[in-house]
Chains A and B, each alone.
Chain A
Amino acid sequence: MDHQGVLHALLGLDIGFVNTRASYFGILEEKYRLQACGMASSSMGEGFQLGSGAGAAMQDLQSRSDVHILKPNGELIWPYYETRLGVDRIAVTISGGPELRTVLLGLTGEGSLKAGQALVESMPLIIVGSYNLTALADEAGLVDALVTHRPDLVVLTGGENGGAEKYVKGWIDILKLVCRILPEEIKPDVLYAGNTFLEESVKRHLEPLANLSVVPNIRPAQQEMDLVPAQAAIEKIVINRWQKAIPGFKTLITRSKSIAGTKSFAFSRMIRYLGKANTKTHKGVLALDLGGGSTLVGAGLDEDSGVMVQPAWEGSPESLDDDMIDFVHQWTAATVTRDEVSEYLCNHALQPNFIPENSRGLAISQAYARYRIKQASRRLAKNFAWFPYKQEKGLVGHFEPVIASGAILTLAPKAGQSMLMLIDGLEPWGVTTIVLDRHQILPMLGLIGTQEPVLPVHVLGSDAFESLGTVIVAVSDAPENEAILNVRVKTNNGKDYEVEILQGTLKRLVIPSDVTAELTLEPMLETDVGFGGFGVGGRLKVPGGSMGVVIDARGRPLRLPEDDEKRVAELKRWLVVLGG
């Protein structure tokens, strides 16, 4: 930072359960740019200090670029303005710490508890108990149950603003007892996010007994839900607890005077921003991160936004259910038995760092990625009614772009594999573009944006994100192999051609990254390409990308042949079409 308060060089550290990534943002031609990246194993857990992994990621960054941020003794150089070396500020996003055991208290399952669940599932928390007002009938039993849960956090929701107070007061009485009973060392944090008219009463009764945070009602009226203030409060609670639970975390952020936040909240901040920025296009934005420790999915559409975080393996092999194994078996593009899939997934759950070295393992992992995308989208739709993901149809709304990250996607040997995992998992409708966040900087931009709001704007407009390509989905009830769409292609390098799309097929149009193309879509009467109904077509300008344009006419929902041999052949054929 110089004397005018301008930040010239920022370092982002994204610390996950498996990897720590360092990203250096500097100014080039008066705009912030991602100038260098580095990565190392995360030094999280017993016997390690978090800073050593962060240091290794910084060393890696420095060794791969011209950027100079470390002294020979490994210390960070700062501030930048004195030496034109080093950084002005560090931002740390973190995930992979121990999830906070959370009890949710509310009034009704469809009302406050539903909003509470959406809140809890948007942060690194795990619900260990959820109670509605019927539980208040047995106060003694309820107190015992809450004490037995030994929660780290209690989220108390319920009551519209100005609504009935009786039941919320009942919860306050219960919580007072619980806080009196539990020893100081394991007393939970309490977050009140209910009827604002009761805030004073909540403070008066609970503040002396617990670490209380009071935020605006997450469900102020029947059709309203606002999670952001509650997420911000939970963020502070999580960071505070992780500073105690993760060796070296507190030292890292105090020594480097960094700003620190959870990856999920930083991610959700970015989703909100992108959703609003997209308002003019009437399309939403969707982002996915298939991390080693958890899956993050978030969507923003106008004023609505929502995020869901889900542990990648739910912690143990016991959590693998038959539906998951069946799905992964069905979508594995290799001849494997169901038992092999089950063993692979169970062993992977025990060793989250594991990377497949052979084709069969890779095929199972990529099928599992589809499952993770599908599950997370389903859960997001369950928590946020406006998010139009339907189990039987896929993602029926228009979301563009889809921004994806996570090693399984970014380290896939072929771009077509990444593209197919995303299309099969999301089952989008209409037209969308797929962007890879190879360096996993999206959440980091969300956090840094709180300090330097123009940085995310500049970086999003740069080439820090890799365009994978455009997806056009043509949906029709026509029989297999019948023509359902005609596409005329005109590129700016003088190539004009026409393509006929048959029902049940997948087609790739190669459009290199430095080329743009104008597509004219002429759907048949019974075909929907997302231009406003069946038979409605139009023109579309698309940039090139490593995958160019993918036209998906395989139908919705995607169906696979029953016969194992035919199914594997079909999956492999789709991969071949996309060059995977």
Chain B
Amino acid sequence: MIVDVLQTTSFTEIERVRKLPFPGQVLVEKGMEVHPSDVVAEAQVPNKIMMLDIARGLALSPDETKACLIREVDDILEEGDVIAQCGNTLPRLFRAPVDGKIISYHQGQMVLATGTSKITITANMIGSVKEIIPEYGVILSSRGSVIQAYWGNGLSGSGILKVLEASLDRPITISMLGDMAQDQIIAGGACLDGDVLDACFENQISGLILSTLSTDLIEKVNKLPFPVIVLHGFGEHTLAQDIFGIFKSHSEARISLNACPVDYFDGERPEVIIPKDEGTITRELGFRKTLEVGDRVRLISGKTINQLGKVVELLEEGQIFENGVIMPAAIVKLQSLEKVKVSQLNLVVVG
């Protein structure tokens, strides 16, 4: 059975690819330090199209106009540049009305792109440029803790980690937030109250890490100007102890959030990166993996939801569950040493 992998690693070598969909310009150099909002590569696509009726402007037929052109497709023009000219003694000129690039010419009509739309790729993490992918982007690297999540609001950023210990086993309240600062990223338990989000917004914090989120607040979170990462999905669940432990030991550290959507084909998940220099390295697992005995897993259903455990047995032949559904199961030994039988499909490997 192939299952998802969610990294919860206290120290690892991190490598992330940031790549444009088509060639452009890489804006950083190998070895450079980057922050989440830094643009590492950009590409441009012409836009703001303007149609120029050259035939009409020169009072010629479309067929006659072609011979008068002195610029051609793909030429870059500045405002006032002569595009076409006819007549020798008293020449009639057709000039570029604005800066632009000639996209096409057909039957006396010219198409000018007067602007460009930029496609940019940001670093979305704190790290350094390990390798340049010419014209496309970079491979970024860092060392530290990685905690991956189920959902994010699409933004990225960095800030100083503040852990709300009081919210570990209770939903976050405004009073738990205390004094907030612009450079803070707040990590806590479940967020069920829109006022908590309003308070964070008013104090212009730099990011929010939640164990779970009320489904009523999805829309609101999507409108916030800072990244929000939801570690365990939707509803009301406490923050997993192991993750809380990592956060607690890095309180006041500068961390980065990449609250991107999950992308199965690019292998991207929302994640928190806590850069640091020292620790015992654990190798990052892939995006998904075949479940095996010995895997460290998190349960995503049942009474022991979000608990960590180790797979001690795989039961490939169908097992009957409480509701009558028959599916392959795994026996998982929890940290409490209790053994539970769960569907293999309802496990994620913790990297």
Contacts and interface: CB of A to CB of B under 8 A. Distances in A.
Interface in A346-364: 346-347, 350-351, 353-359, 361-362
B116 to A, nearest CB: 10
A181 B342 CA distance: 53
A127 interface: no
A354 B301 contact: yes
Interface size on B, as a range, is 35 or more
Contacts of B104: 176-177, 180
Interface stretch (A44-52, A75-83, A535-543): A44-52
Contacts of A353: 3-4, 345
Contact of B47 (A42, A148, A346): A148
B43 interface: yes
Contacts of B261: 316
A338 to B, nearest CB: 10
Contacts, number: 156
B287 interface: yes
A346 B215 contact: yes
A562 interface: no
B302 interface: yes
Contacts of A180: 73, 103-104
Given A181-B113, A353-B3, A47 B49 contact: no
A452 interface: no
Interface residues of A, number: 53
Nearest to A97: B265
Contacts of A28: none
Nearest to A413: B324
B304 to A, nearest CB: 11
A245 B265 contact: yes
B117 interface: yes
Nearest to A184: B22
Nearest to B111: A177
A207 interface: no
Given A45-B288, A47-B288, A140-B48, A350 B325 contact: no
A343 interface: yes
A449 interface: no
A266 to B, nearest CB: 22
A46 B234 contact: no
B281 interface: no
Interface of B: 1-4, 21-23, 43, 45-51, 73, 103-104, 106, 111, 113, 117, 150-151, 214-216, 218-219, 222, 233-235, 261-267, 286-288, 290, 300-302, 321-327, 342-343, 345-346
18 contacts: A42-B2, A45-B264, A139-B51, A144-B47, A148-B47, A181-B46, A182-B45, A183-B23, A185-B23, A316-B261, A318-B222, A339-B215, A342-B234, A346-B233, A354-B301, A359-B323, A361-B323, A411-B327
Given A41-B290, A183-B43, A353-B3, 12 more contacts: A46-B266, A46-B287, A140-B49, A177-B103, A181-B46, A183-B23, A317-B234, A342-B215, A353-B4, A357-B342, A359-B323, A413-B324
Interface of A: 41-48, 53, 98, 139-140, 143-144, 147-148, 150, 173, 176-177, 180-186, 245-246, 316-318, 320, 339, 342-343, 346-347, 350-351, 353-359, 361-362, 411-414
A-B CB proximity, top 10 nearest: A413-B324, A46-B267, A41-B2, A185-B22, A47-B286, A343-B235, A140-B49, A45-B264, A346-B234, A183-B22
